[in-house]
Structure 1
């Protein structure tokens, strides 16, 4: 009789408590707890593992994630390990709290750190903890590294990218480094408890797991940072760039100086030897000059406050470039031909306050999803757009922008248009090519001309703030946006809500805030659920009474 049959036959009629600790292979579960019929009624089987996928593969549905120790529990455990007592003089509170903070609620770490500090003079603890910040304790590193060692090569690379850069990058920027879909690999990292995905899509790591990943990269070349695959420590990066030590080993660089430093002697060819560099991000670092060269391997390039005009460098072919950001670049006056970036998905030149012209080529990047020109105060016109993949277009705070871009072909993916605080006064008929548009926000600060032949039945949210010809425009808007559910008319010069608003049977929310000339709101739509009329000082008595008595009222007016 095999061992499996033996265990099953001996225990199937007995009530048992079975604890399987640190399971790391599916066969362990099959051999020791093969099914629900192996044990008697009211039996309990408790399994601990670092790999959630083992549990789901075995058909286990009741899964609990063990939380870390809270501050009180951490303090109690640390005192027992480090001092062999729960009573500690308050004079040591700061250093004790620092040790606990480093462990971040992980019992293993508290035990290792407490044991290492036990018997050591308190005067040396500060130095020991400083060293732990640079180099994690060997005992903790080895235990946490078990999960990493079980990954395949691609999963290891993805984890190291996340561990080294998750505090600065979202998953989208990390994804740009890969030619293949990384969804499965991300799920593996989650299942192995190496990362968590926040409900907004951000990646979260336990501090010690992050330190473990960074230590793996540091050990690639402890004494020569230029030979490491990833660089994030500002002193290492400055050394490599100033002394032109770059090598083909480096794949990602993120420079964020803790203070405003000027790298005085940046070598113009600092990136020339980095032939495999995929991601280059520079923030809060003030260079005396820009680079004469960027490697063709680049996929993500972000350089805030670039010290010269960058687009002359980018005229050559960058087949792999996915993300390009030159935010806050005061020297950028024009964006020249970008047709050499055929795979570009994101481009941003936010708050480039001296930008005046944009080459038409930007409107023909077939893979472009994200286009950000927010805060370009001197930009007067925008090129036509034929961008089938566009999901995000931001023209907010382009104070001098006078024309809305012509939409040359149908775009299904763009859901929201926000052009607050611009000088746009006329909307072209081609806006109806935005067939996927759901939300449309304007802030005209004057008259707005909307095409008489234009129907956009999919638009649900409309903002028409501060429009002086609203009484003429509104009936047209109601006809054009037949299915709108939200309408914002705040700060407009409207005096009476027109009768045609009663025809908006889909309208659920109406904003009338700071409409100082508004007198009558009797013509409300039949299915309205929320109404806001803050500081509408001219309302007649019947309208005020209706506001105060409406059961559906959500925002009370301020008189």
Structure 2
């Protein structure tokens, strides 16, 4: 790579993986190099085991990196580090990289411990999804001041997570498929940053009452958390929640009722922005919580495959458009529904004997098996997707 000493950026993306050779110090000589992206670049047999990089480098991206990157002594300017699917050992400390904001070591097999985040105070995004051998999340993430995204999805051996979480700027926490994770941390103080919480197929048994401190939460997904037994009534403090997904939580036999806090009876409770509630495949024996006025904008309600025998009138659900009670085999009667309801599904409700007049589209409860006369458009259906 002669004559490249003055290069400032290198972006090499090959259409297919291809072997290449670089001198171990080829990039180190490029004192002005600030961006280095190598995609589908493999090493040949004569390639060294490490390669030195200039301290001026700000963004380094090399998926499937076969080498150990090394830097010269002195302060580093690196802001972004993307080494997804690499087989090299992930360092547990980044003490010489204080300017790092983005780290992606997703789908790497080597990490067992998460890096100490105290060394990188400016870090905004940490992506370790698919690190199937990761077991421990570092305590430093609990109080990190700038972390906005933490993705640990698919870390199937992860079982050690901080007992408290105070990251004020955290916006997205993804713990999907962390099947060994049994507890969720306490939230001792209000966290105004978190918008999305994803816990699909974890082994969590309950959520702490202090989860109410996630005051800006917009979406919470706990699909197939089969060990989940308890939802605290404090979830009614989620004033910004839009989607609550509990599908497949087969251990959940009761959805909490809203209750005022005797210490603060004026505290606002309810779900003023919730428009999708998915309780499909839970074990709910009753759904009388729907009689409250806590769901003023709810549009889509999924109650498939539960065990309740009585459905309340849902008279407070003034904006309900879509209701699915299919395969609720204990259900005996569907009362009069809100007048704006567009579609009702009741397929496979073997005990059902009474249902309201056909003033909206009904599927599954007509003795003549009549075809629907109204078809919801793709645009309408998209807003109800669970």
TM tier, smaller: 0.7 to 0.9
Per-residue deviation, residues 319-354 of structure 1 (Å, max 9, x unmatched): 211111100011111114221101111111010000
| 2:304 corresponds to | 514
Moved more, 350-359 or 332-341: 332-341
For residue 280 of structure 2, the aligned residue among 482, 490, 512 is: 490
User: Structure 2 unaligned runs (5+)?
Assistant: 262-268, 349-386
Confirm whether residue 445 of structure 1 aligns to residue 234 of structure 2.
no
Note the C-alpha offset of 1:532: 3.2
Deviation of 1:498 (Å): 1.4
Change (3 A) 1:474 1:364: closer
User: Helix, strand or coil for the counterpart of 1:380?
Assistant: coil
For residue 341 of structure 2, what is the aligned residue in structure 1?
552
Provide the C-alpha distance between the structure 1 equivalents of 2:330 and 2:260, rounded to a whole number of angstroms. 23
- For 1:53-202, what aligned pairs fall within 5 Å after superposition? none
Q: Indicate conservation of the 8 Å contact 1:513/1:536, yes or no.
A: no
Contact 2:212 2:234 survives alignment (8 Å): no
**Contact 1:334–1:356 (Cα < 8 Å) also in 2:** yes
| Structure 1 residue 465 corresponds to structure 2 residue 247 | yes
Using structure 1 for the length normalisation, give the TM-score: 0.53
Q: Which residue of 1 aligns with 2:379?
A: none
The alpha-carbon distance between structure 1 residues 526 and 248, as it changes in their structure 2 partners (threshold 3 A), is same
- Checking the alignment, whether the CA contact within 8 Å between 2:51 and 2:68 is kept in structure 1 is no
Distance 1:511 1:425 in 2: 24
**Could you list the runs of 5+ residues in structure 1 that have no partner in the other structure?**
1-221
Contact in 2 for aligned 1:385/1:408 (Cα 8 Å): yes
CA separation of 1:238 and 1:532: change in aligned 2, threshold 3 A: farther
List per-residue Cα deviations over 1:364-387 (Å, max 9, x = no partner).
221111111111110013223221
**CA contact under 8 A between 2:212 and 2:238: conserved in structure 1?**
no
- State whether residues 381 and 403 of structure 1, in contact with CA within 8 Å, keep that contact through their aligned partners in structure 2: no
Partner residue, 1:290: 68
Q: What's the TM-score, normalizing by structure 2?
A: 0.74
Residue 400 of structure 1 is matched in structure 2 by 180
Distance 1:226 1:239 in 2: 17
CA RMSD of aligned residues (A): 3.2
- 1:431 match: secondary structure: helix
Equivalent positions of 1:99-498 (< 5 A) are: 224-225=3-4, 227-234=6-13, 238-240=20-22, 244-246=26-28, 247-257=30-40, 261-267=42-48, 270-272=51-53, 274-283=54-63, 285-287=64-66, 289-293=67-71, 296-312=76-92, 314-383=93-162, 384-443=164-223, 444-451=225-232, 456-458=237-239, 459-468=241-250, 470-476=252-258, 481-483=270-272, 484-498=274-288
Inter-CA distance 481–424: structure 2 relative to 1 (3 Å threshold): farther
Q: Residues 509 and 264 from structure 1, CA distance in 2 versus in 1: closer, same or farther, beyond 3 angstroms? A: farther
Do 1:243 and 1:267's aligned partners in 2 also have CA atoms closer than 8 Å?
A: no
Q: Deviations over 1:43-62 (max 9, x none)?
A: xxxxxxxxxxxxxxxxxxxx
Task: Tell me the distance in 2 between the aligned counterparts of 1:239 and 1:477.
Answer: 67
Distance 1:330 1:316 in 2: 22
Q: How far did 1:489 drift?
A: 0.9
Report if the CA contact (8 A) 1:237-1:255 is conserved. no
